Amino acid sequence: MTSQVLRDARRYEEEKERKIAAEPRPDFHLSARVGWMNDPNGFSYYKGEYHMFYQYHPFSPYWGPMHWGHAVSKDLLHWKQLPAAMAPDTDYDRDGCFSGSGIVLPDGRHLLMYTGVIKENQPDGSNREVQTQCIAVGDGLDYEKYAGNPVLDGKQLPENGSRFDFRDPKIWRKPDGTYRCVAGNCTPEHDGQILLYSSPDGFTWKFERILAANKGRFGMMWECPDFFQLDGKAVLITSPQDMMPQGFEYHNGNGTLCLLGTFDEETEEFHEETDQAIDYGIDFYAPQTVVTPDGRRIMIGWMQNWDTCNLHAPSRPWFGQMSLPRELSIQNGRLYQQPIREIEEMRGQKVCHENVTFTDIIRLDGVRGRKIDMELQIRPADAENIYRKFAVRFAQDDTYQTSVSFRPYESILKIDRKHSGSRRAIIHQRRCLVNNSDSRKGIIKIRLILDRFSAEVFVNDGEYALSATLYTDAAVDGISFFADGQVTMDVVHYSLGDV
Ligand code: FRU
């Protein structure tokens, strides 16, 4: 039975969506059906399709009482919106259905695990949000909240756990048929920790252990964890709030963190080895992963930044988009990300320019557009005389431009959207240290994917990724190249989708 609250949301989104034209939206990145979108939720493969749910406030383009929006796709690039899956309509989630995950039960039902939020008066007179973990079960379209909700509350917290920051369960099924989930939490001092829970059936849950503890290293509260094995490593990803920059890592305030290590299946202990940011651009948060039927681990994040996302025009009928789906692998002790290979099916006209040697500024025939997939192989024209700076400028006309530049002497790659249509004094550039011996010789591979209002950069076949949203009109589509010194490059440029 759908509640009146959910029926209202469904009616509203259906009517409102008709008034939004397709062009001002991204093409192959999922965006909010109407209103506001944040984190990816319930990312799973069910009945032959990928299901993506998302944090959703249909009634305005700003964050509000959280619903779950819902879309499906066969290739993670062409999306079909479905009616909202959940609304904050019960006594245990009346102030919001926060982030969570999805899994297929052996009996063929789709299980969603999410955070129920209620505001509660506290003994000290304050009014605070209390968070519990809840379940809904459905058929890919309609979901029924479980009568036993909440399935995890303050009683299943470790001694130093917080009932106020206890959210974003990510569930998985083990080969032995039992279930595990990780949830974000913090100590009374707001120090992040990831909690591990177990369940025989997906409905009855028990606290197992603190899987990872921040101990003051990476920001404060840890949100939206995901935990999996990949290429022989245990991978914990999480999105810490209030991060302090460390060198060239962790510059986004609310950022992303990947901890690589090993996991002992017997004791269920995670031993950390290395840490890195997941995305080095401006707009990327709360990523979640899914495994494809052919075994690839795919990650999608919210392509926004909490510190800058509320600065959009109130007249816009929708706000928020997801990142490209990214294929993950572990190489050279790092998390690598490559655009999902299905994007190659969307490639249209191909333009190649090989061994282009230039200084100063050039434009190349057939190289322009705001829906493109472009690969650049950059090297010095003379290995003994390395150029000082290379840049590709895009979304460009006489007034505007966005750029990705590289300085081999410092080995620093920069994305800069200062002249990309924003009228706000917010962060418009990010730098990334490309820690690689070839790059210090001026040899670097840059793949740039544009989808009207975003740029995603993949360096050296996925060693680093940088994402940023753009604010210029999609008709601003010029591309040029700049070199301070002599650069030689190969360019392979494809238009994407219907242009
Ligand atoms: C992360 C987050 C989650 C929470 C959701 C609320 O962006 O703060 O921790 O569940 O957004 O919308």
Interval 284-295 mean pLDDT: 98
- CA 98 / ligand 1 centre spacing (Å): 6
Q: How far apart are CA 341 and CA 319, in angstroms?
A: 27
- Lowest mean pLDDT segment, chosen from 315-319, 327-331, 432-436: 315-319
Q: Read off the pLDDT band of 316 (50, 70, 90).
A: confident
Q: Read off the pLDDT band of 313 (50, 70, 90).
A: confident
pLDDT tens-digit profile of 473-487?
999 999 999 999 999
Interval 298-305 mean pLDDT: 98
- Lowest mean pLDDT segment, chosen from 309-313, 330-334, 354-358: 309-313
Q: How far apart are CA 343 and CA 348, in angstroms?
A: 11
More confident residue, 313 or 75: 75
SS (H, E, C) the chain: CCCHHHHHHHHHHHHHHCCCCCCCCCCCCCECCCEEEEEEEEEEEECCEEEEEEEEECCCCCCCCCEEEEEEECCCCCEEEEEEEECCCCCCCCCCEEEEEEEECCCCCEEEEEEEEEEEECCCCCEEEEEEEEEEEECCCCEEECCCCCCECHHHCCCCCCCCCEEEEEEEECCCCCEEEEEEEECCCCCEEEEEEEECCCCCCEEEEEEEECCCCCCCCEEEEEEEEECCEEEEEEEECCCCCECCECCCCCCCEEEEEEEECCCCEEEEEEEECCCCCCCCEEEEEEECCCCCEEEEEECCCCCCHHHCCCCCCEECEECCCEEEEEECCEEEEEECHHHHHHEEEEEEEEEEEEEEEECCCCCCCCEEEEEEEEEECCCCCCCCEEEEEEEECCCCEEEEEEECCCCEEEEEEEECCCCCCCCCEEEEECCCHHHHCCCEEEEEEEECCEEEEEEHHHCEEEEEECCCCCCCCEEEEEEEEEEEEEEEEEEECCC
pLDDT at 170 over 70: yes
Q: Do the first three CATH levels of 4-20+29-339 and 347-496 match, i.e. the same topology?
A: no
pLDDT at 325 over 80: yes
Q: How far apart are CA 236 and CA 117, in angstroms?
A: 25
- CA 167 / ligand 1 centre spacing (Å): 8
Measured in whole angstroms, the distance separating CA 199 from the mean position of its chain's CA atoms is 28
- CA 183 / ligand 1 centre spacing (Å): 12
Interval 241-261 mean pLDDT: 96
Instruction: Domain ranges for the chain, please list them.
Output: 4-20+29-339, 347-496
Atom 6 in ligand 1: residue holding the nearest Cα: 98
Check residue 312 and give its pLDDT: 83
Measured in whole angstroms, the distance separating CA 463 from the mean position of its chain's CA atoms is 17
CB 175 within 8 A of CB 139: no
Interval 5-29 mean pLDDT: 94
Atom 8 in ligand 1: residue holding the nearest Cα: 223
Check residue 302 and give its pLDDT: 98
pLDDT at 173 over 60: yes
CATH class (in words) of the domain with range 4-20+29-339: mainly beta
Atom of ligand 1 nearest to the CA of 63: 12
| Alpha-carbon separation of residue 348 from 30, 62, 499 (angstroms) | 20, 36, 9
Structure token digits, residue 217: 């290293």
CB 459 within 8 A of CB 413: yes
Task: Report the residue among 37, 99, 130 best suited for mutation to probe ligand 1: largest number of ligand atoms under 8 A from its CB.
Answer: 99
Interval 189-200 mean pLDDT: 98
Atom of ligand 1 nearest to the CA of 302: 7
pLDDT at 81 over 60: yes
Atom 9 in ligand 1: residue holding the nearest Cα: 223
Interval 227-239 mean pLDDT: 98
Atom of ligand 1 nearest to the CA of 223: 9
pTM: 0.97
Measured in whole angstroms, the distance separating CA 14 from the mean position of its chain's CA atoms is 26
Q: Read off the pLDDT band of 28 (50, 70, 90).
A: very high
Task: Report the residue among 37, 39, 252 best suited for mutation to probe ligand 1: largest number of ligand atoms under 8 A from its CB.
Answer: 39
Share of the chain above pLDDT 90, in %: 95
Measured in whole angstroms, the distance separating CA 387 from the mean position of its chain's CA atoms is 34
Check residue 23 and give its pLDDT: 82
Exposure class string for 477-499: b at 16+ Cβ within 10 A, else e: bbbbbbbebbbbbebbbbbbeee
**Mean pLDDT of the residues in the chain:** 96
Check residue 499 and give its pLDDT: 53
Atom of ligand 1 nearest to the CA of 239: 1
CB 301 within 8 A of CB 465: no
Check residue 434 and give its pLDDT: 97
pLDDT tens-digit profile of 46-69?
999 999 999 999 999 999 999 999
Check residue 269 and give its pLDDT: 98
Check residue 1 and give its pLDDT: 75
Mind telling me the catalytic residues?
A: 39
- CA 221 / ligand 1 centre spacing (Å): 11
- CA 2 / ligand 1 centre spacing (Å): 24
CATH class (in words) of the domain with range 347-496: mainly beta
Check residue 311 and give its pLDDT: 83
In which residue are the tokens 């990705």 written?
Answer: 404
pLDDT tens-digit profile of 89-117?
999 999 999 999 999 999 999 999 999 99
Ligand 1 neighbours (beta carbon < 6 A): 38-39, 55, 66, 98-99, 115, 167-168, 223-224, 285-286
- Lowest mean pLDDT segment, chosen from 22-26, 98-102, 305-309: 22-26
